[in-house]
Structure 1
Amino acid sequence: MSEPIKIDIWSDIACPWCYIGKRKFEAGSGLFSGAGDGRAVEVEYHSFELSPDTPVDFDGSEVDFLAGHKGIPAEQVHQMLDRVTGIASSVGLDYDFDALQHTNTVKAHELLHFAKAQGKQLELAERLFQAYFIEGGHVGRVESLADLAESVGLDRAEALAAMESEEYLDSVREDQRTAAEYGINGVPFFVIDGKYGVSGAQDAATFAQVLEQVWSERAAEPAATAEASA
């Protein structure tokens, strides 16, 4: 049986397309895995901050942030958010931009690295996205993040200590350096089997097609190696 195909995903908890892309990738990898013969994927999340200068406690709405800090007219922002909300709904996500609390996400990224060390990264990533985009939760304050960590079975005190000590900040920065080396300037970005890059929240069929291509190439490699040594 072949090893699972490794998927490295650069994303930010504050990125609406990243949660949508997560759902589309899950659907695509499900189509791929459903074909059988041991097809499987292994996912790891990596840190990317869209707005690292954002304060932890931003005084205003998502519309205020995009209009005031990004220079986008408020009417255009509303149209953008309505469009994103509709696309999110099409993949089963009920975004609530009115309740959303815009914040700095570096501590959330540190917590994701802590969760990875505990074997709970995927569960925490889902929980953070859900809290931010659907529940109006705060994912910038360490106390709130510790509560979310506990909700997926992580030790709250250990999670809090890891964030307060910045134990995983170097890991966050290493992810960001790697993203720069890859030329990643937007998320979500998927690196498949270490050699194929897929940018954006592509359709499930696109993800399934790329995974199947990688699987087929893997299957052809032993034959090519055998021919070369003959």
Structure 2
Amino acid sequence: MIISLTRREVTGRYRGSMLGILWSLLTPLLMLAVYTFMFGTVLRMRWAGGGEGQPTAQFAIILFVGLIFFQTFSEVLTRAPTLVLANVSYVKKIVFPLEVLPVVALAAALFHMMVSFLVMLIFLVISQGSIPLTAPLLPVVVAPFILLLLGLSWFLAAVGVYFRDIGQVLNPIVSALMFLSPIFVPAEALPAAVRPWLVLNPISIPVEQARRVLIFGELPNLHALAFYTVTAAVIAGLGFLFFRATRKGFADVL
């Protein structure tokens, strides 16, 4: 059922368009081209430590990895508060496991995330000639990120039924998290007093560890990844329990 609903979710997004699901491939290609041109060519930005001779393509890839994680994070969280509200028929008319709604939304976002990473890897091969041997470790980095998103999605989906304003509050928070994460600049470039707080940003650790394995050919920081995994597991468990405890009142509210 989850696979069927995810397929419908992905194809439904492009239904009626001339290129259909091909847009899922063209969109990250266009994004990568824009980032390369604007940040690398026009603004001539370089990653700290890369020096003046750092290739424009490498900076674009570094930036693109961070934005892939952020866009997945943003898509899942901003949709979560409306998941139950958009499927009232499932709540009132039939017996349906509402817990799968956040799972389906997350799976659809992960499909686009995988396509974006595929585009990035192809660009990496073209620009640098090879992919680091540590690249297969990417699932180890992404797995706890998925777990965290699922827990937050369950929590926000339940809260959104009772407090309809949560979506309006969430949008500026998500935008702020983008600028308070090492997407545009490395953590080392930030003031020393700010760096310890980066660990509280849910996308900081995945972005940094993904760059290590995909671009710099380094092993992930196991201590940071272990901390993030445990935190994600706790949030996922609490989010699921909160959803199950509050779903009893969904029908009355809706």
- State TM-score, norm by structure 2: 0.25
Higher strand fraction (1 or 2): 1
Compare the two structures and name the one with the higher helix fraction: 2
Highest relative contact order (Cα 8 Å, sep 6+), 1 or 2? 1
